[in-house]
Structure 1
Amino acid sequence: MQKSTLSEGDDERFSPVKSKGSPASIQKSATLTGSCRKVKDTVADLHNLCQKWLKFNNEGSAAINEIANVKLQAIFKEEESKRNEDGEALTKTEMPEVLEDHCTKVLGIVDKMRKLVDKMEAMAGILHGVADLERHKVQCTLSDSGPILFQTWKVEDYGEATLKMLESYRNELKLKELLSENVCHVKDRDTMMFYTAAWVHQPYIDNSCTLLLESMLTETGHR
């Protein structure tokens, strides 16, 4: 699975930089209005979504581990049965009823994660809308860039950064959906352990997402 990473240029572009010369950078949160207020509030909401995702991921990890324990015990019993000295064909080990409860819980967690991604997509739309508005207000619609609202980022950088994060979370959601749909049907140890590790480590959400979010929080004065 290929991770989404920032290019060298993107890393420099989205890094948080303190700029004493930007008037907006010294504005107090309570006095912000218009586009500045909208961007700052949206960045805070985005941070809250990421925190909720982390919470749901931890809950899912616990549920996946419970499934793994149940499945591995069942697999072990089945392997023991096959090694019986009498060589008789034995009935396949039945899975405990609690397994269905754990699987249902994982599916519910994935559904919550899907709603978070939908909200993140809406936030990207809000930030792009703010960028369009600011470009129109300063009559630079023919320009490739809009004004700087806070410290160093151009107004459209917030929407672009959110889209990069959104792509990572979308890909991770697809993985989570596949894991949740198939984890209860795993029949061997190696696959079960792979599913568990894939859920915990979140291969599509890497350090670039953290960098983008922290950069936005710093730029807008949340950090």
Structure 2
Amino acid sequence: MAETPRNNRLNPLVGKSSPAHEVNIYAGRPAQGHSGNLTGNRRILKDTAADIFNGMQNWKHHQDKGCVVISNIFNMRLELPNVKFPDRLSGYVSELKQLCEQMAEIVEGFQTKLKNLTAVSALEKSSSAPLFISWTTEHFCKITRAIVEAYQQELKLHQSLLLRIADCTDPDVLLFYLSCWTHQPYLDISLEKQAHCMIKETGHV
């Protein structure tokens, strides 16, 4: 008969996501039909696409670190089942809080980028010609808006988990919280595919 999760220590790397790779906003090919350095709205769109993609990669990095922290809390609770506030707990909780704050900064950055794209879309509304290969500025807005809304929801979940993890003394419940943190139910795989399409559209890859 298999042991229950309560009797098994966790590998700190549990829940680790795929490696994060950032893109250089100055790299890649120029927009279709244009040579040299981009200016104006094309520059804004290209830089914004890279910033959004890189923000998603940074989120992955913080997400993975959070998995390690929660695993450490789980293992600590196994080692010290009768100690409600072990000495290491405050350090782990502070680290997890800092990660949530950094993730909140990423989401705020996404919101700013969406405002910029919305402004560009308003300026380009009279033109149906794409600024790059095939995407209209409105399509850039649509994809970015979906990314922003998903990460806003996921951030709320992470912040809620932070509060619960800080007070939890039951390793089995902590294992459930780790699963919630790892699974990220609001971040559909299609969002990352769309982000890859965005940087491909703007010539980064």
TM-score norm. by structure 1 comes to: 0.74
8 Å Cα contact 2:31-2:203 kept in structure 1: no
* 2:62 is the counterpart of 1:39: no
Please identify which structure carries the higher helix content: 1
Aligned counterpart, 1:157 = 139
CA distance in 1, matches of 2:60, 2:31: 32
8 Å Cα contact 1:63-1:102 kept in structure 2: yes
RCO comparison, higher one (Cα < 8 Å, 6+): 1
Aligned counterpart, 1:125 = 115
Q: 1:100 aligns with which of 90, 104, 109?
A: 90
8 Å Cα contact 2:31-2:131 kept in structure 1: yes
RMSD over equivalenced CA pairs, Å? 1.7
CA distance in 1, matches of 2:86, 2:31: 60
CA distance in 2, matches of 1:169, 1:183: 20
Aligned counterpart, 1:110 = 100
Aligned counterpart, 1:170 = 152
8 Å Cα contact 2:31-2:202 kept in structure 1: no
What SS class does the counterpart of residue 25 from structure 1 fall into?
coil
* 2:59 is the counterpart of 1:53: yes
Q: Percent identity, aligned pairs only? A: 31
Aligned counterpart, 1:27 = 34
What SS class does the counterpart of residue 49 from structure 2 fall into?
helix
The alpha-carbon deviation at position 189 of structure 1 amounts to 2.9
CA distance in 2, matches of 1:193, 1:217: 36
Question: Which residue identity lines up with residue 38 of structure 1 in the other structure?
Answer: I
8 Å Cα contact 2:121-2:137 kept in structure 1: yes
Unaligned runs of 5+ in 2: 1-29
CA distance in 1, matches of 2:65, 2:131: 38
Change in CA separation of 1:40 and 1:57 when aligned onto 2, cut-off 3 Å: same
Aligned counterpart, 2:25 = none
What SS class does the counterpart of residue 32 from structure 2 fall into?
helix
| Residues 188-209 of structure 1 deviation map (CA, whole Å, 9 limit, x = unaligned) | 2321101111112222112111
Question: Which residue identity lines up with residue 42 of structure 2 in the other structure?
Answer: C
The alpha-carbon deviation at position 72 of structure 1 amounts to 2.6
8 Å Cα contact 2:161-2:177 kept in structure 1: yes
CA distance in 2, matches of 1:190, 1:25: 55
Aligned counterpart, 1:12 = none
Question: Which residue identity lines up with residue 221 of structure 1 in the other structure?
Answer: G
CA distance in 2, matches of 1:157, 1:94: 51
Question: Which residue identity lines up with residue 32 of structure 2 in the other structure?
Answer: S
Q: In terms of Rg, which structure is larger?
A: 1
TM-score norm. by structure 2 comes to: 0.80
* 2:199 is the counterpart of 1:199: no
CA distance in 1, matches of 2:84, 2:42: 59
8 Å Cα contact 2:32-2:133 kept in structure 1: yes
8 Å Cα contact 2:168-2:174 kept in structure 1: yes
The alpha-carbon deviation at position 24 of structure 1 amounts to 4.5
